[in-house]
Amino acid sequence: MNTVTNVSRLTNAVMQGAVFHGNDRITIERVAIPEVASGEVLVKVSRTALCGSDFKLWHKGAEFTAGHEIFGVVEQPGHPMHGRRCAIYIPLHCDHCAACCRGDTQMCLEVSSLIGWNRPGGYAEYLPVPENCLLPVPDDIEDSLAPLLLDTIGTSAHAVRFAGRIVPPSESGPVLVMGAGPVGLGVVLALKSHGYDDIYVADPNAARLAIAQSFGAKAHPVGNTSKRFALIVECSGAHAARNLGIELVLPRGALVLVGENAAPWVIEEGKVFRRKDFYMIRTFYFPIGDFAPNIKLLRRYKDEYRVLVDGEFGLSGLPDNFARFARGELIKPVLALD
């Protein structure tokens, strides 16, 4: 049955959705349910986790509905996936370019579009999703943890897997994680799962640092230069932290840049930068083939990941809770649309 025909009952229908106006202002309004194109399905949103990368949309405004850590149920009568619980893979991908054929679906060479950025996202009741972006979630994964399979687990575990080819656990010695936000804490758990057993974390937020320690990491003073590391995973996106990472990484070591920062970053090519061989790696999201091992990672550390979900609220509570999240009062709050 044609995809568009399946959703004809919702043509011209409206839903509740968040509008990001810019200047740190969000309103909840009645908006049109986006059109569902051929090859797409309609998804009824159940949970969308808040993400710090949305701060730029909060500040500057968004053309499309924001929200990209999405979990929901396929609402497409007649479709084989109707009623399935799915996480939403945000990078659109063609499945046939050289990158996709290699498995690097997050870096598709033919399509450059992200759900929640260049097309409607999950801070609303419904959204259209390409069929190849549906990631079925097993029933033993509770709704509120399902969005963590994306950024918190997917992005962090991909960074660890990538770096592990260069600095494997057997050769790493102590590892430093810079930033104990959701992805940084996800990196701690991913490192543990891959056999790294001497993990340090630097973060100025005492509460987040305490969570990292409860996960088995050791505290490392922010800005401290007394210790060097073969593997550093920079998750804050702060330019000062990146520059410090260049200083602290050992020769032949790896500095992995996971945190994002849209502002220009100037690297001073001093002797610390010039006089050693080292890897500086940027990783982005995760390949779709990592989803199964990411589910295993969530199952293994389910209690730890539950600690991160420290707020749940409906659409009417999004503006206030997004502001709290921006102030650092919440770690991984979740919009719940039941």
DSSP annotation string for 84-143: -EEEE--B---SSSHHHHTT-GGG-SS---BBTTTB--SSBSEEEEEGGGEEE--TTS-T
Rounded Cα gap, residues 214 and 142, in angstroms: 22
CB atoms within 10 A of CB 229: 24
Q: Is position 293 within any domain? A: no
> What does the pLDDT read at residue 12?
62
- Please report, for residues 50, 58, 284, the alpha-carbon distance to residue 322 in angstroms, rounded to integers and kept in the order given: 7, 9, 24
User: Are 137 and 13 contained in the same domain?
Assistant: yes
The pLDDT of residue 5 is 40
Quick check: is 301 in a domain?
Answer: no
CATH number reported for the structural domain that contains residue 169 in this entry: 3.40.50.720
- Residue 288 is assigned to a structural domain of this protein: no
Same domain, 100 and 187: no
139 and 176 belong to one structural domain: no
Looking at the DSSP assignment, which residues form a beta bridge with residue 18?
28
Q: Residues 138, 209: one domain?
A: no
Measured distance between the N- and C-terminal CA atoms of the chain, rounded to whole angstroms? 28
Q: For residue 90, tell me if it sits in a domain.
A: yes
Same domain, 232 and 139: no
CA distance 281 to 261: 15
Report residue 317 as tokens: 């509570």
Q: Is residue 136 part of a domain?
A: yes
> What are residue 178's DSSP bridge partners?
202, 234
Q: Report yes or no on 298 lying in a domain.
A: no
Report the 10 Å Cβ neighbour count for 107.
Answer: 17
Same domain, 138 and 162: no
In a domain, 292, yes or no: no
Q: Are residues 212 and 232 in the same domain?
A: yes
- CA distances to 132, 244, 327, 334 from 174, in Å: 39, 16, 31, 33
Give domain status of residue 294, yes or no.
Answer: no
**Of the candidates 162, 207, 163, which has an alpha carbon nearest to the alpha carbon of residue 185?**
207
State whether 97 and 129 are in the same domain: yes
Contact 331, 208 (CB under 8 A): yes
Residues 21 and 103 in one domain: yes
Residue 268, pLDDT score: 86
Q: Would you write out the chain's pLDDT as a tens digit for each of its 338 residues?
A: 344 444 445 556 999 999 999 999 999 999 999 999 999 999 999 999 999 999 999 999 999 999 999 999 999 999 999 999 999 999 999 999 999 999 999 999 999 999 999 999 999 999 999 999 999 999 999 999 999 999 999 999 999 999 999 999 999 999 999 999 999 999 999 999 999 999 999 999 999 999 999 999 999 999 999 999 999 999 999 999 999 999 999 999 999 999 988 899 999 888 989 999 999 999 999 999 999 999 999 999 999 999 999 999 999 999 999 999 999 999 999 999 97
> How high is the pLDDT of residue 338?
78
Residues 218 and 332 in one domain: no
State the total domains in the chain.
2
- For residues 48 and 179, membership in a common domain is answered with no
Q: Are residues 9 and 102 in the same domain?
A: yes
Are the beta carbons of 123 and 317 closer than 8 angstroms? no
- Where residue 13 sits, what CATH number does that domain have? 3.90.180.10
Domain that holds residue 217: 156-282
pTM for the model stands at 0.93
Return the pLDDT at 295. Answer: 98
